[in-house]
């Protein structure tokens, strides 16, 4: 069931958003075609040369996350935004509202796969956990 949910549904939303944004669709198509031609038939090289395709997948999962939340139980007391959370308390990140929040993403309702290319080199406050579609750390989905 997990393979179906995590593949078919995002692909349907990708077709939906690319259909609504033909200019993005054409840019992704051209980049994939050029990358494939330069890769000489090597799929790994072709994917590395198509960052807009990777950004499209991240953007789809930002807007339409397969899992709606990520939960963790801290092993020691922590403070998040001046709020004390005792060890063993479930902490939950809600991915759907986070992906559509203006506090997290500029123009959050806009489908913009290029936003991920711009953020690749950025580090610092607010950039570390913007993409949590498959969790993070040791418990990240291996798929």
User: What are the pLDDT digits (tens) for 72-118?
Assistant: 899 999 998 899 999 999 999 888 999 999 998 999 999 999 998 86
Check residues 127 and 63 and name the one with the higher pLDDT.
Answer: 63
* Cα–Cα distance for residue pair 60/14, rounded to 1 Å: 6
Whole-structure pTM value = 0.80
Segment 55-82 shows an average pLDDT of 91
- Determine whether the annotation assigns residue 141 to a binding site: yes
- Phi first, then psi: give them for residue 9, nearest 5 degrees: -65, -50
């Amino acid at each position: 069931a997990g393979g179906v949910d995590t593949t078919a549904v995002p692909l349907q939303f990708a077709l939906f958003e690319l259909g609504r944004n033909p200019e993005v669709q054409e840019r992704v198509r051209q980049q994939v075609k050029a990358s494939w031609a330069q890769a000489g038939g090597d799929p790994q090289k072709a994917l590395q040369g198509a960052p807009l395709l990777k950004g499209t997948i991240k953007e789809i999962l930002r807007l339409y996350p397969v899992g709606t939340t990520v939960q963790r139980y801290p092993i020691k007391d922590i403070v998040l935004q001046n709020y004390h959370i005792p060890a063993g308390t479930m902490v939950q990140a809600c991915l759907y509202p986070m992906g559509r929040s203006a506090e997290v993403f500029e123009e959050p309702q806009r489908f913009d796969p290029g936003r991920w290319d711009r953020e690749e080199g950025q580090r610092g406050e607010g950039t570390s956990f913007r993409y949590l579609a498959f969790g993070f750390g040791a418990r990240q989905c291996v798929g």
